[in-house]
Amino acid sequence: MAIVFERPKSLTQAEFHYCPGCTHGIIHRLVAEAIDTLGIEGRTVGVAPVGCAVFAYNYFNCDMIEAAHGRAPAVATGLKRANPESIVFTYQGDGDLASIGTAETVHSATRGENITIIFVNNAIYGMTGGQMAPTSLPGQVTQTSPYGRDTKTAGWPVRISELLATLEGPEYIERVAVNNVKNVNNAKRAIEKAFRNQVEGKGFSLVEVISSCPTNWGMTPKQALQWVDEKMIPYYPLGVYRDKSKGV
């Protein structure tokens, strides 16, 4: 009997600790599939963040390092500069990448570091129990915005892909989602491209993945996926924000 579906080689046998309905699992799988497809597992080094994906080092089969909160792009810079033949990726959430680590994100991008960043934007701090994130939507209720995010006092959500696309440094920036089959397939293509760019020496590639957090959003998994469509994507439009070699 032909095997039509199996675990990517670049994932370990460890079981994910993610909540039911969380889309981190899908994104992990897409990253692992990209590594498998490109045949780079033996030279890939991943950087885990602080946040829900903190244990990513247990899940990816390649060499892994755990970074301090927000510092993953700096750690990746160190790894890549030390061993340019390595394929280095970071896997970061919105608090990590767009709040405490904004400087590291912007400057690794503007330097055009030849690294791959997978940015998981679910508009909330998940691991610490649902606080307001830099990407939480206006009016979004969280533990630290109990009356809804008030833009007068808490500011506006940060659109990282648009912001980074103003820089000359990045090679490739695309925002994708994983809330339906079509979007998952598109995210798979984008993530693979972000890794391929690095293999080809093209430079900084970031894929922003709009993700869902049913637990901290207080929704069922299905409602959460709908909320992505109805609320998240209108504020965070999907698409290619930079593709230098295609003149975008």
Partner 1 sequence: MAEKYLMKGNEALAEAAIRAGCRIYFGYPITPQTELAAYMAKRMPKIGGVFVQAESEIAAINMVYGAAAAGKRVMTSSSSPGISLKQEGISYLAGSDLPALIVNVQRGGPGLGGIQPSQSDYFQATKGGGHGDYHRIVLTPASVQEMADLTGLAFDLADKYRVPSMILADGTIGQMMEPVEIREEEPHVFEKPWALTGTQMKRPHNVVNSLYLDPEELEQTNIDRFARYAQIEASEARWEEYMMEDAEYCLVAFGIASRVAKNAVVSLRAKGIKAGLIRPITVWPFPKEALAKAADRVKGFLSVELSMGQMIEDVKLATGCRKPVALCSRAGGLIPGPDQIIAAAEELAGGR
Residues that bind partner 1 (CB under 8 A): 12, 41-45, 47, 54, 57-58, 60-68, 71, 74-83, 85-87, 103-104, 106-107, 111
Q: What is the DSSP string of 155-168?
A: -----HHHHHTTSS
Nearer to partner 1, 77 or 145 (CB): 77
Residue entry with tokens 């400057």:
107
Nearer to partner 1, 24 or 71 (CB): 71
Q: What is the DSSP string of 122-147?
A: -SEETTTTSEE-TTPPTT--BTTBTT
Q: Provide, rounded to whole angstroms, the least separation between the CB of residue 69 and partner 1.
A: 9
Around 174, how many Cα atoms within 13 Å sit in the side-chain half-sphere? 21
Measured CA to CA in angstroms, residue 145 lies from 22, 150, 214, 224 at distances of 22, 8, 17, 19
Q: Provide, rounded to whole angstroms, the least separation between the CB of residue 236 and partner 1.
A: 25
Nearer to partner 1, 70 or 214 (CB): 70
Q: Provide, rounded to whole angstroms, the least separation between the CB of residue 130 and partner 1.
A: 20
Nearer to partner 1, 38 or 106 (CB): 106
Q: Provide, rounded to whole angstroms, the least separation between the CB of residue 184 and partner 1.
A: 26
Nearer to partner 1, 41 or 229 (CB): 41
Question: Which SS3 state, helix, strand or coil, does residue 246 take?
Answer: helix
Burial class (CB in 10 A: 0-12, 13-18, 19+), 238: middle
**Token pair in block for residue 187:** 């995210």
Q: Provide, rounded to whole angstroms, the least separation between the CB of residue 76 and partner 1.
A: 6
Q: Provide, rounded to whole angstroms, the least separation between the CB of residue 177 and partner 1.
A: 29
Nearer to partner 1, 45 or 224 (CB): 45
d(CA 206, CA 91) in angstroms, rounded, equals: 10
d(CA 54, CA 38) in angstroms, rounded, equals: 25
Burial class (CB in 10 A: 0-12, 13-18, 19+), 239: exposed
Q: Provide, rounded to whole angstroms, the least separation between the CB of residue 57 and partner 1.
A: 5
Residue 236 near residue 175 (C-beta atoms within 8 A): yes
d(CA 69, CA 54) in angstroms, rounded, equals: 10
Nearer to partner 1, 30 or 79 (CB): 79
